[in-house]
């Protein structure tokens, strides 16, 4: 790292992003869309300690340049920062993504302008894995539906108990996990604790867990064997529409599909058709290809399909970890040693 003294202040230059001044204690920090991270139950004080903070709950595309103008640091969750937008922000020195995925930023264009882009890679592991099983257990027991029906139906029951749908035990069944990173492994840990056999597919097959019966599997074999498939892989050109008509046809008719990763991993129409035809027993999804689904989705209202509005990540504990990491990322950048840089 090179250093330059200017006006009595030491300015640090990060060699990976030539020309970046990383010592900015009074930097203007603009948060373009902070509401989903912090709707009011967390504190922004850690961020305010690093510079002058301007907060926006949401930013429409036409207001991005105006709001980010003059900012050295811009934070975004889902507000896009294109090459065209970056070209209109000459003061910009750093972009922080308030999430793990960073496809909303043109990272190549940022790098060409010497702007590091950082993300938060690990905050939601426990929460997302927990939610994957919340979805699965709802498919197994339909707790919400039984609770809603109990006030009217239970008093009229001829027996001391009743159920409206089949109840499924998970012990002894096979859990297939596509994407065996942090969240996939945490989900496997919960499945193993519930007595399930674990099989997994990942491009990198290192450190296999010591679960009885654990095995690596190719994707098509995993779809054939698993009683439950849980998706935890990133969205890439290769994984888009990973779950399609052909792979759904390979699944057991009693199988469940869980997606807490990215909506476009699943071909919506193919899954809706498979559910309506009884090709598989059910699906539970926390993500859809378009969010929010302003033009609808064939999966909303599909047979035995649970859809939740992208909330697996959003526990208070996970959001607090995310915000803490965002602050740590900026502090590291200002000290001249950026971390979690994705470009």
Catalytic residue numbers? 262, 291, 310
Return phi, psi of residue 11, to 5°.
-110, 130
Q: What is the spatial distance between Cα 238 and Cα 87, in angstroms, rounded to a whole number?
A: 30
220 three-state secondary structure: helix
CB 323 within 8 A of CB 53: no
Instruction: Tell me how many degrees the CA angle 191-279-264 measures, rounded to the nearest 5.
Output: 70
Do 199 and 225 contact (CB within 8 A), yes or no?
A: yes
Helix (H, G, I), strand (E, B) or coil at 95: strand
CB within 8 A of 264, min separation 6: which ones?
Answer: 235, 240, 241, 289
SS3 124: coil
Joined tokens for residue 247? 């792979």
Torsion angle (degrees, nearest 10) of CA 295, 299, 301, 302 = 150
Q: Residue 213 class from Cβ within 10 Å (0-12 exposed, 13-18 middle, 19+ buried)?
A: exposed
CA distance 279 to 41: 43
H helix runs in 219-259, sequence order: 219-225, 245-250
């Amino acid at each position: 790292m090179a250093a330059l003294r200017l006006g009595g202040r030491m300015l640090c230059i990060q060699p990976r992003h030539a020309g970046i001044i990383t010592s900015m204690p009074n930097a203007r920090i603009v948060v373009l869309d902070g509401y989903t991270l912090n709707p009011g139950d967390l504190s922004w004080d850690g961020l305010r300690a690093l510079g002058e903070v301007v907060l926006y709950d949401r930013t429409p595309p036409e207001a991005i340049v105006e709001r980010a103008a003059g900012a050295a640091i811009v934070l975004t969750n889902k507000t896009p920062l294109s090459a065209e937008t970056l070209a209109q922000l000459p003061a910009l020195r750093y972009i922080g993504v308030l999430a793990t995925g960073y496809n909303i930023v043109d990272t190549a264009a940022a790098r060409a302008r010497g702007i590091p882009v950082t993300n938060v890679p690990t905050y939601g592991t426990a929460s997302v894995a927990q939610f994957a099983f919340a979805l699965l257990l709802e498919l197994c027991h339909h707790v919400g539906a039984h609770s809603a029906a109990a006030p009217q139906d239970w008093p009229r029951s001829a027996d001391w108990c009743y159920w409206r749908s089949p109840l499924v035990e998970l012990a002894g069944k096979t859990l297939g996990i596509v994407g065996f990173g942090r969240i996939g492994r945490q989900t496997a840990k919960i499945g193993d604790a519930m007595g399930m056999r674990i099989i997994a597919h990942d491009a990198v097959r290192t450190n296999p867990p010591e679960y009885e019966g654990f095995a690596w599997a190719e994707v098509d074999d995993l779809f054939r064997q698993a009683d439950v498939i849980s998706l935890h892989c990133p969205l890439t050109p290769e994984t888009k529409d990973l779950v399609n008509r052909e792979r759904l046809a390979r699944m057991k008719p009693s199988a469940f599909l869980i997606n807490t990763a990215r909506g476009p991993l699943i071909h919506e129409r193919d899954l809706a058709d498979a559910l309506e035809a009884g090709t598989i027993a059910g699906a539970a999804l926390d993500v859809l290809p378009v969010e929010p689904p302003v033009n609808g989705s064939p999966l909303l209202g599909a047979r035995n399909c649970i859809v939740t509005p992208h909330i697996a990540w959003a526990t208070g504990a996970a959001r607090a970890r995310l915000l803490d990491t965002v602050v740590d990322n900026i502090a590291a950048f200002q000290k001249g040693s950026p971390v979690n840089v994705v470009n």
